[in-house]
Amino acid sequence: MRNGEKMKVPYEIGADVLLKYSQPEKSELALKLGQIIREARIKSGLTQQDLALKSGTSRTYISRIENDRSDLEIATLRKIIETGLGRRLEISIR
């Protein structure tokens, strides 16, 4: 335990075993971000190439984001939304 106390458990799973049988978690937010970006891009009349050029990324990267094949850092998200799409990014925690 964190406090140094030992606790008996029926079995022990090592980190290597957990890693072997684990799968990356697809958060609902991540799945929505790609869809939101795609919809905003289409509404703005931009191609993936147009958005990539405006936001300083690549068309392949925009495609990967829209198809939920890539993680997205907040700074990059801001660049795509604000610079590429000309919109304002707002993030809230509820």
Going by CATH, does the domain composed of 27-84 fall within 1.10.260.40? yes
CB 49 within 8 A of CB 38: no
Number of C-beta neighbours around residue 46 at 10 A: 19
Per residue of the chain (94 residues), what is the pLDDT tens digit? 678 888 776 666 677 776 777 766 665 665 688 999 999 999 999 999 999 999 999 999 999 999 988 888 999 999 999 999 999 999 888 8
CA 28 to chain CA centroid, nearest Å: 10
Residue extents of the structural domains in the chain? 27-84
Residue at token pair 């957990």: 18
Nearest to 31 by CA among 82, 65, 76: 65
Q: Looking at residue 78, what is its pLDDT? A: 95
Q: Looking at residue 71, what is its pLDDT? A: 83
Q: Looking at residue 91, what is its pLDDT? A: 87
